[in-house]
């Protein structure tokens, strides 16, 4: 049996072989990119197990959808797929302050590596913020865009701090659920 030298293939060539069901081509692509993709996830999540799971999920999806995928730049596609899965993992996190810090980190990475995807994410988040009820949107923007404390927001809006907390909680819950259900999660 003829043994191909898969390391001689570029990523596009490996994808073409994968579309035909070539498991060895898939294994080469996996071995070639696993470590760098893992580092992308781990740098953001700080969780080796979750990072490893995310990269494996991305590769599983690539294999399962190999016949339908039309990928022009495999390395960029894989990195973006990992980032989207990282976003998904962050969205499922329960701590609001950590959610935004980690979302900011992912967004910053996207700006550097993929301006289009960042703009899409930014547009989606802005649309979601615009769809919040006026009082929630106002409190959210004062908190996130002007970095005001809940006390400062309460003073400015002439409402109680408890009301600000309630509006922020509603806003964050809505955004988290909407992002989770959006097409961004790929």
CA atoms within 13 Å, Cβ hemisphere of 145: 8
Is 115-186 a CATH 1.10.10.10 domain?
yes
Cα-trace Rg, the chain: 21
Give the mean pLDDT of 108-124: 63
pLDDT exceeds cutoff 50 at 183 = no
* Architecture in CATH for domain 1-113: Orthogonal Bundle (1.10)
Least confident of 55-64, 67-76, 128-137, 175-184: 175-184
Between CA 68 and CA 153 the distance in angstroms is: 50
Kindly give, in sequence order, each residue whose CB lies less than 8 Å from that of residue 96, ignoring residues fewer than 6 positions away: 172
pLDDT exceeds cutoff 70 at 108 = no
Q: Is 72 exposed, middle or buried (0-12, 13-18, 19+ CB in 10 A)?
A: exposed
Domains 1-113 and 115-186 share a fold: no
pLDDT band at 96 (very low <50, low <70, confident <90, very high): very low
> Could you tell me the two tokens for 95?
């701590």
Between CA 154 and CA 97 the distance in angstroms is: 19
- Please state the domain extents for the chain: 1-113, 115-186
Model confidence over 42-67: pLDDT tens digits?
888 888 888 899 999 999 999 998 88
How does 80-107 read in b/e, with b if 16+ C-beta sit within 10 Å? bbbbbbbbbbbbeeeeeeebbebbeebb
pTM of the model: 0.52
Between CA 25 and CA 17 the distance in angstroms is: 6
> Could you tell me the two tokens for 113?
């590596």
Query: What is the residue-averaged pLDDT of the chain?
Result: 81
- E runs forming strands in 15-101: none
């Amino acid at each position: 049996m003829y043994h191909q030298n898969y390391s001689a293939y570029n990523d596009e060539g490996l994808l073409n072989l994968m579309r035909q069901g070539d498991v060895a081509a898939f294994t080469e692509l996996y071995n070639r990119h696993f470590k760098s993709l893992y580092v992308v996830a781990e740098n953001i999540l700080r969780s080796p197990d979750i990072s490893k799971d995310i990269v494996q999920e991305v590769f599983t999806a690539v294999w399962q959808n190999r016949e339908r995928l039309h990928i022009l730049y495999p390395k960029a596609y894989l990195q973006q797929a990992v980032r989207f899965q990282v976003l998904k993992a962050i969205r499922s996190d329960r701590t609001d302050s950590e959610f935004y810090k980690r979302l900011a980190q992912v967004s910053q990475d996207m700006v550097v590596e993929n301006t289009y995807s960042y703009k899409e994410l930014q547009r989606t988040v802005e649309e979601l913020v615009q769809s919040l009820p006026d009082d929630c949107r106002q409190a959210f923007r004062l908190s996130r865009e002007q970095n005001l404390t809940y006390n400062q927001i309460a003073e400015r809006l002439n409402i109680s701090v408890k009301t600000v907390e309630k509006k922020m909680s509603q806003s964050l819950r809505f955004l988290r659920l909407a992002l989770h259900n959006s097409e961004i999660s790929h």
